[in-house]
Structure 1
Amino acid sequence: MAAQSAETFRVLLSMKIKEGQAAAFEQEWLSGTDAVTGHPANLGQWLGRSSTDPDTYFIVSDWVDEAGFKDFEDSGAHVEHRERLHAYRAGATFATMRVVHHIEGAATRVG
């Protein structure tokens, strides 16, 4: 795995899903991932599920820069994907950040 640039712009969305909707939410998220990863400024995205609250998910996406993310955010593909996921959402928080440093761990080193 290559180290990320210090210019990487990271987005973290925490979503509380309506009770009993986890499987349907995951399927909907998977079916729309190209809306995010298909954007030329996207470096990748991840879906994580809380280890303490099975109705809370974390969506992380990395972008080449903030301008690229803003371009995505204004796109029709993003609006459509967001609307489809919104049906499952009971609440959410949103944070953005710039990656300052990234140091790979021992498990990523081949040798």
Structure 2
Amino acid sequence: MTTTPQGTFRVLLRMQINPGMEAEFEEVWQGSTEAVTGHPACLGQWLSKSTDEEAVYYIVSDWRDEPGFRAFESGEEHLAHRERLHPYRSQGSFTTMHVVAHIEGDAGTAESAHAR
């Protein structure tokens, strides 16, 4: 298990998916992640589905720094990736942040020990 370095630039997308299109959205998202994770500044990406809101997903991506993310955001790969996901989205929001601290819990520490 890896820890999140302090200073990491994190992006959080909240996406409301059109009703009945959730499975197809997940499939398309998983099939197009290379557009994001293939960028040299990308540290990783996660897709999560809300347990409280119908058809709401959260996409989190971590970046080495903000300039690296901004370079990706203005690139052709990002535009193509957005185009693939756009038909599934009815609305969404976008938040950016800097990771200030990461403290690993006991379960994460135990998993790291088992991996060795």
TM-score, normalized by length of structure 2? 0.92
Count of residue pairs brought into register by the alignment: 111
Structure 1 runs not aligned, ≥5 long:
none
Moved over 4 A (4+): none
Verify: 1:21 aligned to 2:21, yes or no.
yes
What is aligned with 2:70? 70
What is aligned with 1:36? 36
Structure 1 counterpart SS, 2:93:
strand
What is aligned with 1:109? 109
Structure 1 counterpart SS, 2:81:
helix
In the alignment, the residues of structure 2 paired with residue 33 and residue 6 of structure 1 have an alpha-carbon distance, to the nearest angstrom, of 24
In the alignment, the residues of structure 1 paired with residue 74 and residue 48 of structure 2 have an alpha-carbon distance, to the nearest angstrom, of 25
| Displacement of 1:2 | 2.6
What is aligned with 2:48? 48
In the alignment, the residues of structure 2 paired with residue 95 and residue 52 of structure 1 have an alpha-carbon distance, to the nearest angstrom, of 20
Letter in 2 for 1:108: G
Structure 1 counterpart SS, 2:3:
coil
Per residue, is there more helix in 1 or in 2? 2
What is aligned with 2:59? 59
What is aligned with 2:5? 5
Structure 2 counterpart SS, 1:35:
helix
| Displacement of 1:30 | 0.6
Instruction: Report the aligned-residue RMSD.
Output: 0.9
Structure 2 counterpart SS, 1:14:
strand
Letter in 2 for 1:26: E
In the alignment, the residues of structure 1 paired with residue 95 and residue 63 of structure 2 have an alpha-carbon distance, to the nearest angstrom, of 14
What is aligned with 1:94? 94
In the alignment, the residues of structure 2 paired with residue 74 and residue 105 of structure 1 have an alpha-carbon distance, to the nearest angstrom, of 36
Structure 2 runs not aligned, ≥5 long:
none
